[in-house]
Structure 1
Amino acid sequence: MKLISIPANPVPEDVVTGTLKTPDRIDLRFARWAPPPGRKGTVCIFQGRAEFIEKYFEMARELRARGFAVATMDWRGQGMSQRMLRDPKKGYVESFREYETDLEAFMREIVLPDCPPPYFAIGHSMGASILTRIAHRGYRWFDRMVLCAPLIKLGPQLLTPYAKPAVNFLNAIGMGRSYVPGGGPAVVASQPFIGNVLTSDPVRHARTAAILEADPSLGLGSPTNAWASAAFSMMREFEDVNYPGKIRQPIMMIAAGRDVTVSTAAIEEFAGRLRAGSHLIIAGSRHEMMMETDRYRAQFWAAFDAFVPGSPAF
């Protein structure tokens, strides 16, 4: 399975890539990089909705420079993993348990057999919420997790009063495979920098757009009603005040101060109830803090280095 390389975003060296098949017969693309000499373990990167492996090449290099092996994958329905509907631009699952199936297959088929322990995880947005769910269910593959802008609750831009009842109703009457109201096939990451709410870094924004221009098949449009209904179902679970206290996994949650995609306040409240957790707000950062300007990314890496054994701070 190929990786897309462009001059502004070349594939990091020493990569192994391919596909794995989940128990429900979905093909997922993966990539893994061996650690440099004096290995310290493996960091697994779990993307947000509509993202893809190529977007995290820079982070793979930074992690390997810290002495880690790196492993990552495309979730079902995005990147170069198997798309779920005839229209490949539609983001679709019936339940977020399907993503948990992806994660478990990735760990059992790729990480545990071929990557050096100990294992750590970085998750962004949707990926971070899936890691939260598997930690709540008691899976302990990872020594520590760093969760960036986790989808605990939607931010003010997306959480309109009618959003939840509308998508739940449309899903219930058989329109789960249709785009959410107002949505369509347009790929957000390909839109102009001016007016975007994901990053304040024009260079990294342009790099993502260039990757999508090189291979438009990586792009994903709006969610479907079924995906949105599944997301609301997951977020309803997170509303239980006892939910965080049942997680024993050491977690650091990092929120973005200018995030309008997910709720920074909800992340802070949730993280405050974790038994083995801590949290940080990067003031000024937008939602995609790992695609932000260097001054915000430096704060992310400082937090990571202080939290994850084997990083330079240790």
Structure 2
Amino acid sequence: MSLQSSPDNPVPEGAVEQTVTTVDGVKLRAAYWRPPGQRKGTVCLIHGRAEAIEKYYEVVGELLQRGFAVASFDWRGQGASDRRLANPRKGHVDDFSEFERDLEAFMQQVVLPDCPPPYFALAHSTGGLVCLRVARRSRQTFARMVLVSPLLDFGGFAPSRALINFTAGCFSLLGLGDAFPPGSKIAQVEERGFKGNPLTSDPRRFARSIAIGQTRPELMVGPPTISWLHAACRAMNEAADPAFAASIRIPTLMIAAGEDRVVSPLAIERFAREMRIGAQIVIPGARHEILMERDPMRGLFWAAFDEFIPGSEA
């Protein structure tokens, strides 16, 4: 369960690790940090699919420098949290309500008892969609949310959501939900090249992410299973209803990547328009992982974050 540290990616000082147990018995790895001096609240750093706490050390440090406590965790099925299937490389859930249980357990067992209020969400991709689902039911969860490249529809990197939903649903009915989608392939981390990757244009941060998997391969996860894709499609279909966006009562800033091929920037723009207290900006030239992008793009992100989150300053 211990956090991995390396010379190029050291664990920020003061990390406190904790194990969270969800209502359905899944054990999750969590960690939190408290900055010295007066604290401005807590930023809950909520990952996307196939990520782990180690990937966000740089972001944790930047938040600590701003005077925030930081708390984070690994979703079920990835990082150092419990894996459901015999093949640990399969990223699998049957329904996104499982991720909601993870987030709720993290808030109840780590954030509320150990971290100072107010609480802000900084969520990436899949984490952004889960935050919206939880926020729809409870406006008390976060004071504000910053959602980076939230998963509201697939980007040009994948077939249409309707096709994926239909195909995944058919395979799931045949009892193949825990299988990889036809044609998917688990690439070894050393086989993944920087050129043409859809995640970041920053070679140093790309290499840093790959190095985490090379050192701790047990933290990594391969493609999503058919059930994961079907669950994601159902969750995105729900979010596509204009009433869903209108029901969110937490002030929310959505930040889209101009060159995103993993999720749809147009879907993010449409959702933000339908929110009552939401706003959206686009980082030109950025790929899907804005927080892992080159410094000029990250600078635009942090300027927007500092303007939106009360008490934040570089």
Give the TM-score of the pair, scaled to structure 1: 0.97
In the TM superposition, what whole-angstrom CA distance separates every residue of 1:249-286 from its partner, at most 9, and x where no partner exists?
A: 11000000000110001100110111111110111100
Q: Following the alignment from structure 2 to structure 1, what is the Cα–Cα distance between the partners of residues 277 and 213? A: 39
* Per-residue deviation, 1:140: 1.8
SS of the equivalent of 1:105 reads helix
User: Residue 46 of structure 1 corresponds to which residue in structure 2?
Assistant: 46
SS of the equivalent of 1:31 reads strand
SS of the equivalent of 2:178 reads coil
Closer, same or farther in 2 for the Cα pair 1:187/1:41, shift >3 Å? Answer: farther
User: Residue 140 of structure 2 corresponds to which residue in structure 1?
Assistant: 140
* Per-residue deviation, 1:84: 1.1
User: Residue 103 of structure 1 corresponds to which residue in structure 2?
Assistant: 103
User: Residue 272 of structure 2 corresponds to which residue in structure 1?
Assistant: 271
Correspondence 1:1-314 to 2 at 5 A: 1-160=1-160, 162-186=163-187, 191-312=192-313
RMSD: 1.3
Quick check: 2:164–2:230 contact (8 Å CA) kept in 1?
no
Match for 2:272: what amino acid?
A
Closer, same or farther in 2 for the Cα pair 1:158/1:232, shift >3 Å? Answer: same
Quick check: 1:268–1:279 contact (8 Å CA) kept in 2?
yes
Quick check: 2:123–2:146 contact (8 Å CA) kept in 1?
yes
In the TM superposition, what whole-angstrom CA distance separates every residue of 1:79-131 from its partner, at most 9, and x where no partner exists?
A: 00001100000010000000000000000000000001111010000000000
SS of the equivalent of 2:29 reads strand
Show structure 1 runs of 5+ residues with no match.
none
In the TM superposition, what whole-angstrom CA distance separates every residue of 1:46-98 from its partner, at most 9, and x where no partner exists?
A: 00000000000000000000000000000000000001100000010000000
Q: Following the alignment from structure 2 to structure 1, what is the Cα–Cα distance between the partners of residues 213 and 99? A: 23
Give the TM-score of the pair, scaled to structure 2: 0.97
Q: Which moved more, 1:130-139 or 1:248-257?
A: 130-139
* Per-residue deviation, 1:241: 1.8
Q: Following the alignment from structure 2 to structure 1, what is the Cα–Cα distance between the partners of residues 126 and 271? A: 15
Q: Following the alignment from structure 1 to structure 2, what is the Cα–Cα distance between the partners of residues 293 and 125? A: 18
Show structure 2 runs of 5+ residues with no match.
none
Match for 2:176: what amino acid?
M
SS of the equivalent of 2:82 reads coil
In the TM superposition, what whole-angstrom CA distance separates every residue of 1:213-272 from its partner, at most 9, and x where no partner exists?
A: 111111110000000000000011012122211111110000000001100011001101
Q: Deviating runs (4+, > 4 A) in structure 1? A: 187-190
Q: Following the alignment from structure 1 to structure 2, what is the Cα–Cα distance between the partners of residues 107 and 199? A: 30
Match for 2:261: what amino acid?
V
Quick check: 1:187–1:220 contact (8 Å CA) kept in 2?
no
Match for 2:200: what amino acid?
T
Q: Following the alignment from structure 1 to structure 2, what is the Cα–Cα distance between the partners of residues 188 and 284? A: 25
Quick check: 1:90–1:185 contact (8 Å CA) kept in 2?
no
Closer, same or farther in 2 for the Cα pair 1:32/1:258, shift >3 Å? Answer: same
Q: Following the alignment from structure 2 to structure 1, what is the Cα–Cα distance between the partners of residues 305 and 67? A: 13
Q: Following the alignment from structure 2 to structure 1, what is the Cα–Cα distance between the partners of residues 101 and 261? A: 29
